[in-house]
Amino acid sequence: MNRFFSHLKQPFTSVWISLGFVIGCIATVFYYQTLEFTVLTISIVIVSVYFKPFLNVLLGFICAICWIAVYFYTFHNFEIPKADEKYAHSAELIIESIISSKQPQYIKAKIIKFNDDSYAHFRAPSAMLSVNSSQTLLIGDTFSASINLKPFRSTKNFHVFDNERYAFTQRIFFKGKVLNKELVITNNEKQSTIINYRKFIKGVYSNTTLQWLYYALLTGDKSLMDFSDKQLMQSLGLSHLLAISGLHIGLIFGFGYLAVRSLFKHIKYVSDQTKNLSVIYSAVGFFAAFIYVYLSDFLVSATRALIMLGCYLVLYYLAKQPLRWRSILFALVILLIINPFNVLNAGLYFSFTAVAIIFLVVRKIPISNTSFFYKIASLGLVQLALFLGLLPLSLYFFHGVSLAGLVLNLIAIPLLSLIVMPSLIIITLLSSVFDMGISITFFDACLSYVFQLLTKIPVFIRWLNIGNTDSIFVVFYYITFLIFYLVPYKWLTCIPFSVLLFNYLVAEKPK
């Protein structure tokens, strides 16, 4: 077997181990203690016996299983006494967010002390609590109280949003109520930088029509959005613009990079040839992106994009090849080391699939042609590839696809990249020194007009509901694509397509 594969170019050992780690994380989280997990494990062991490079895959696979076990028992293994054993528990809590300020108030709180046990802030579990008190609660406040807790449970239905899974990923393990009517609250007099920043953004754009849009783009918090606005953005295929991700991180990085480079040119800085100034530009750009992610309170999507950017820069300046695919793989591994249960987050699959598609398409586009119409055509090609590449994920997770989004993103992404985000950054920075009321009013009026045009798009071309999509369709869709792209014999794509068709014909149909 080793001789059979000896003519192929072998990847680096780190790539094999990383691949095994990713496979191990997905298999363990989704299939642990199932027949599928057993079959996959035995298959990897058998292949490793006959093909030595797969020993590194097996090593990564085993490391993933061990790491998930350690992570689970460190951050997710919390138990409380049964209700018939003890009803009230003494606890010290920190308010993370206020879900509802109406009586009784509903909050998300981090439990830093429970009975006689104390937890570090990074490890402390969270709980959703009802507080029947007239006292005003603020984010960041600490209070001690008697609480009644029970494990977080919710009604589970097929093909709808899974509240329990979401709570698990957010480390919300309990729900209950605070038994005290009067609370001894320790106000956080020195508000955190993040809270002060969000208050500042709210104040700057307080008199605008699209305050929710500016607040979401600058902080990553969508709490100011109405349900109708969320539905409209999703139906138009533009909701990804509101989630801080690779596009936003790239814009902030580019802003910092170009700002420092322009500054160096303006002051006519001269350095010896041994210094690579682009490293300094990139370092400042990455620091600006890090500050942006920090102010967003390290949202999962923002952190994911920052890690990918960091891997890309490191590999670029170390001149390692192949650059793009290794940066994607290493970023994914780092993200799963930080939290292996990120595989439960749908955004993970959208982000990495989108980046992989962009890399695939860009490498096929010649860079010699610099005409304006050629760039527009290239942008359209990338958008079409993203639409087709992300189509199965959209059908599986959202049970439909936005038809208008295929065209609207060709306009919205350049508009956001070249006008909206740069304007918001400049206005926000200058607002800390000058009164930018007139500029904000003019800017808001222009965007409000554009937003009103979006509301006039007919409903039947906004969103196409398909219904429930089986996961086997998603898997075989991407298998077919990989065979078509990687294998010289294109007719082999008929194999997964035939299997999918056979499964559809013999599967029992719902009555």
The CATH number of residue 148's host domain is 2.40.50
pLDDT band at 341 (very low <50, low <70, confident <90, very high): very high
| pLDDT mean over 410-422 | 90
| pLDDT mean over 370-384 | 80
Same-domain check for residues 333 and 445: yes
Last residue of a domain, one of 186, 208, 239: 186
Last residue of a domain, one of 163, 186, 209: 186
Same-domain check for residues 441 and 329: yes
Identify whether 210 is part of a domain.
Answer: no
Q: Which residues contact 397 (CB under 8 A, 6 or more apart)?
A: 346
Same-domain check for residues 460 and 475: no
Identify whether 194 is part of a domain.
Answer: no
- Which residue stretches of 220-299 are H helix? 227-235, 246-266, 277-295
Same-domain check for residues 168 and 287: no
Same-domain check for residues 270 and 410: yes
What percent helix, strand, coil does the chain show, rounded to 5? 60, 10, 30
| pLDDT mean over 37-57 | 89
Looking at residue 462, its pLDDT comes to 87
Residue 270, Cβ neighbours under 10 Å: how many? 6
Same-domain check for residues 383 and 279: yes
Looking at residue 406, its pLDDT comes to 84
Tokens 């040839």 sit at which residue?
Answer: 273
Helix (H) or strand (E) holding 495: helix 494-506
Same-domain check for residues 150 and 68: no
Least confident piece of the model among 159-168, 201-210, 228-237: 159-168
Identify whether 449 is part of a domain.
Answer: yes
| pLDDT mean over 149-169 | 80
Identify whether 83 is part of a domain.
Answer: no
Give the pTM. 0.86
- Higher-confidence residue of 373 and 201: namely 201
Strand runs (DSSP E) across 289-350, as ranges? none
pLDDT band at 4 (very low <50, low <70, confident <90, very high): very low
Rounded CA gap, 443 and 217, in Å? 15
* 369 φ/ψ angles, rounded to the nearest 5 degrees: -85, 120
Identify whether 80 is part of a domain.
Answer: no
Identify whether 168 is part of a domain.
Answer: yes
pLDDT digits (tens, 9 = 90+) for 296-311: 988 888 998 999 898 8
Average pLDDT, the chain: 85
Picking from 229, 237, 231, the residue whose alpha carbon sits closest to that of residue 403 is: 237
Same-domain check for residues 461 and 477: no
- Higher-confidence residue of 318 and 204: namely 204
Same-domain check for residues 267 and 383: yes
Looking at residue 141, its pLDDT comes to 86
| pLDDT mean over 25-37 | 92
Rounded CA gap, 393 and 408, in Å? 19
pLDDT band at 77 (very low <50, low <70, confident <90, very high): confident
Domain that holds residue 287: 218-465
pLDDT of residue 116 exceeding 50, the answer is yes
| pLDDT mean over 210-217 | 93
Looking at residue 358, its pLDDT comes to 86
Same-domain check for residues 419 and 484: no
- Higher-confidence residue of 104 and 69: namely 69
Domain count, the chain: 4
Same-domain check for residues 252 and 323: yes
Identify whether 349 is part of a domain.
Answer: yes
Tell me the two tokens of residue 442: 């003019």
Picking from 341, 466, 494, the residue whose alpha carbon sits closest to that of residue 401 is: 466
pLDDT of residue 213 exceeding 60, the answer is yes
92 three-state secondary structure: strand
Same-domain check for residues 249 and 332: yes
Identify whether 121 is part of a domain.
Answer: yes
